[in-house]
Chain A
Amino acid sequence: MPFAIGPEYIAVALLGVVIGIIFGAIPGMTATMAVAVFLPLTYAYSMEMALYLLLGLYVGGISGGLVPAILISIPGTPSSVCTTFDGHPMALKGESERALKIGITSSFIGGMISLVVLAFFTPVLAAWAIKFSAVEKFLIILFALTVIAALSRGQMLRGIWIGMLGVLMAMMNQFSVNNEYRMVPDFLKSEMQSGFQLFPVLIGLFAVSEMFQQCETGMHASYTKEDAMKVENKQKFNFFRDFKGQWINVVRSALLGTFMGILPGVGGSAASLIAYSQAKSWSKHPELLGTGVPEGLIASETSNNGLTGGALVPLLSLGIPGDSTTAVLIGAFMLQGIQVGPLFITNNPDVWNTVLVALLVCNILMFLVMFFPVKLLAKIILIPQERLYPVVLMMCTVGAYATLNGRMFDVWCLLFFGIVGLLIKKFHFPVSCFLIGFILGGDLEDYFIQVLTAYDGSLTGLFVRPMSWVIWALIVISVVYAFLDNRKAKRQEKEAAAKQ
């Protein structure tokens, strides 16, 4: 079982984990941003080295979010929203060190469980997907798009609409079959032969638009050095006491997080919200959750790290990213000329093994780097955003410029998609749906045209193969679920409004 490991790989992974934790711990910066900003650095690396760096950034970025969530009740990344519910009350009781250690340990366990799922589930899914014809490939992308919508609670229609807009924007290029342009102005034809490139689109949507939003609110933190920055230790962390009776919660939350990761386009925030609400409904003392008990903290942190392995499953088996961060990883694979999808494991067994080993190493490093120097973690939050954002912007510019060997067009796309991302957020549409639509739009069209050509223009081709019936059933289930969940969410919204 060949795979890449050695001191140089571990050093790069450590660098990734530390930088990831810093990005995760600073509110307003995310794991996606960390991975995206450092993607250009991998241009000069081998695929294996790049994986260690990027997975380190991913694991560190997701885990770092718990630090400000616990200490100042501001989630460092959206996936740590629920960590604030119990983590911060624990900090207020003088147990911040214990809360941080519980969070870090939970993150580690969540990461490990999801790694096991990744290792066993991906080959099975890929083996199934290898038998796919264009019909199933088209339907599975359609399924991915309906799932995103199904999980944008209360925003089903908005999710589908913006996802379709992403699909449309992905088609602004020269069509590969007949070399005809569509929806491209004449003066941009030379630049847009292959359409908008993924990297500038992604960075624009996630990093530049975030910077604009931070500027809107003044680009200064709403907290100061005095804000609960002292890591107190009134009650010491004891693994056996704090995790006693929590194993079902741990496994359930990690598996929920992993499952949410497998569903395309679902971020860590949804994973931790669902795990937290499940922990609450299964708890013997649901009334205590939210007052500063380890139970809620464990649920949130195991689930959001469970997401990391889960999100890699559809990416490596179907070529569909599980969340926005893994969407950046597609860029890394593409740069190295590796095609992710059903044949990935068969064609690149070394890279596949390296993914697993790198994820294991990164989780262990994350645990060591966060658990022991726990008191130092508080200091990360104080790194000023106003100093970091300009450097981040510069690195994004380098990455965008280098996407296709040096084009200013891709740099301008950063600004354009930064504004697009801002508008999407301002009009309350889910950005991740747009991104997934954009990523999958090209393939969706290719497979559709292949189906039409194969079945002489007849749409019945979409229904003739038995394997396609399974996917149609999944699509119907997700639409029905979306409809019912949407109604439930709206009813809950109304009830909450009535209570106020």
Chain B
Amino acid sequence: MRINVVYSTQHWIFPIITIGVLIILGILLIAVEGAARVKAGKGFFAKPGAFFEKNYDKVKFWGSIVLMFAYFFMLDKIGFTVCSIIFLFLFNTLFANKEQMGTPKYHVVSVIISVVACLVISILFGTIFAITLPSGFCTIEIPALSLIIY
């Protein structure tokens, strides 16, 4: 078997082979698993089990996705440190259970963790290790000291 390696189109050779393998294996997978379901007395396309756990925590699950989206969206607008403090507190609040939600101590600890963890990470990585972090309108830059708090 021969495959013509043409310079202008060779970037598609392997992806096409991979897609071909995926289609063949996909059909095989559906056929084999379908046949096994028929053998077990179910329909060929029998519905698999529920996607989510029974009584899954809708607020925490969808809330974490939305909060993460909002966190990433705001990161390079607000700046790493302030944005992370806000969202770390929000994540701590989202992850609290009903009992913790009602206790002020939990929220005070959340604030402390958010502020301390974000400042430590920001200073350690951004200032000491000079790793670039997302900057925004809350980023403080002191050129005289060559110091940036992202």
Min CB gap A46→B, angstroms = 13
Q: Let me know if B22 and A411 touch, CB within 8 A.
A: no
Interface size on B, residues (CB 8 A): 64
Chain B, Cβ-Cβ closest to A458: B2
Q: Let me know if B121 and A43 touch, CB within 8 A.
A: no
How many residue pairs at the A-B interface have CB separations less than 8 Å? Answer: 168
Q: Let me know if A426 and B10 touch, CB within 8 A.
A: no
- B16-56 vs A, CB cutoff 8 Å, 1 = contact: the mask equals 00110110011011001000100000000000000111001
Within 8 A of B (CB), among A36-52: 40-41, 43-44
Which A residues are in CB contact (< 8 Å) with B22? 161, 164-165, 168
Q: Let me know if A452 and B129 touch, CB within 8 A.
A: no
Interface class of chain A by DSSP: helix
Interface class of chain B by DSSP: helix
Within 8 A of B (CB), among A215-266: 215-220
Chain A, Cβ-Cβ closest to B63: A215
Within 8 A of B (CB), among A114-165: 157-158, 160-161, 164-165
Min CB gap A19→B, angstroms = 14
- A394-424 vs B, CB cutoff 8 Å, 1 = contact: the mask equals 1101100110011010011011001100000
Min CB gap A450→B, angstroms = 10
Tell me if B147 counts as interface (CB < 8 A to partner A). no
Tell me if B82 counts as interface (CB < 8 A to partner A). no
Which A residues are in CB contact (< 8 Å) with B36? 490
- B116-135 vs A, CB cutoff 8 Å, 1 = contact: the mask equals 01100100110011111110
Within 8 A of A (CB), among B49-106: 51-53, 56-57, 60-61, 63-65, 68-69, 71-72, 75-76, 80, 84, 87-88, 91-92, 95-97, 100
- Taken together as a complex, chains A and B put the C-alpha atoms of A218 and B64 apart, in Å, by 11
Within 8 A of B (CB), among A191-235: 208, 211-212, 215-220
Q: Let me know if A182 and B11 touch, CB within 8 A.
A: yes
Q: Let me know if B117 and A394 touch, CB within 8 A.
A: yes
Number of contact residues on A: which range applies? 35 or more
Q: Which of B14, B19, B36, B69 has the most CB atoms of chain A within a 10 A radius of its CB?
A: B14
- Taken together as a complex, chains A and B put the C-alpha atoms of A418 and B100 apart, in Å, by 27
Tell me if A183 counts as interface (CB < 8 A to partner B). yes
Tell me if A489 counts as interface (CB < 8 A to partner B). no
Min CB gap A135→B, angstroms = 15
Tell me if A12 counts as interface (CB < 8 A to partner B). no
* Cβ 8 A contact of B95, one of A157, A219, A426: A219
- Taken together as a complex, chains A and B put the C-alpha atoms of A416 and B97 apart, in Å, by 27
Q: Let me know if B84 and A448 touch, CB within 8 A.
A: no
Q: Let me know if B21 and A164 touch, CB within 8 A.
A: yes
Known: A164-B25, A449-B13. A215 touches B57 (CB 8 A): yes
Which B residues are in CB contact (< 8 Å) with A387? 92, 109, 113
* Cβ 8 A contact of B97, one of A180, A218, A412, A426: A218
* Cβ 8 A contact of A415, one of B7, B15, B69: B69
Which B residues are in CB contact (< 8 Å) with A394? 84, 88, 117-118, 121
Q: Let me know if B61 and A216 touch, CB within 8 A.
A: yes
Tell me if A457 counts as interface (CB < 8 A to partner B). yes
Q: Let me know if B125 and A398 touch, CB within 8 A.
A: yes
Tell me if A445 counts as interface (CB < 8 A to partner B). yes
* Cβ 8 A contact of B91, one of A158, A177, A217, A389: A389
Min CB gap A158→B, angstroms = 7
Chain A, Cβ-Cβ closest to B18: A168
Known: A161-B25, A216-B52, A453-B5. A175 touches B18 (CB 8 A): no
- Taken together as a complex, chains A and B put the C-alpha atoms of A167 and B95 apart, in Å, by 35
Tell me if B146 counts as interface (CB < 8 A to partner A). no
Tell me if B145 counts as interface (CB < 8 A to partner A). no
- Taken together as a complex, chains A and B put the C-alpha atoms of A220 and B96 apart, in Å, by 8
Tell me if A393 counts as interface (CB < 8 A to partner B). yes
Q: Let me know if B88 and A391 touch, CB within 8 A.
A: yes
* Cβ 8 A contact of B5, one of A43, A175, A391, A449: A449
* Cβ 8 A contact of A171, one of B18, B51, B80, B130: B18
Q: Let me know if B92 and A211 touch, CB within 8 A.
A: no
Which A residues are in CB contact (< 8 Å) with B64? 211-212, 215
* Cβ 8 A contact of B26, one of A161, A216, A385: A161
- Taken together as a complex, chains A and B put the C-alpha atoms of A411 and B133 apart, in Å, by 11
Chain A, Cβ-Cβ closest to B100: A386
Which B residues are in CB contact (< 8 Å) with A183? 15
* Cβ 8 A contact of A167, one of B11, B18, B61, B71: B18
Q: Let me know if A449 and B134 touch, CB within 8 A.
A: no
Q: Let me know if A215 and B3 touch, CB within 8 A.
A: no
B contact residues vs A (CB 8 Å cutoff): 1-5, 7-8, 10-15, 18-19, 21-22, 25-26, 28-29, 32, 36, 51-53, 56-57, 60-61, 63-65, 68-69, 71-72, 75-76, 80, 84, 87-88, 91-92, 95-97, 100, 109, 113-114, 117-118, 121, 124-125, 128-134
Q: A171-B15, A171-B18, A178-B8 are in contact. List 20 more A-B contacts (CB 8 A).
A: A41-B125, A43-B131, A164-B18, A178-B11, A212-B61, A216-B53, A217-B57, A386-B95, A390-B91, A390-B113, A394-B118, A394-B121, A395-B121, A401-B132, A408-B75, A415-B68, A415-B72, A445-B14, A448-B14, A457-B3
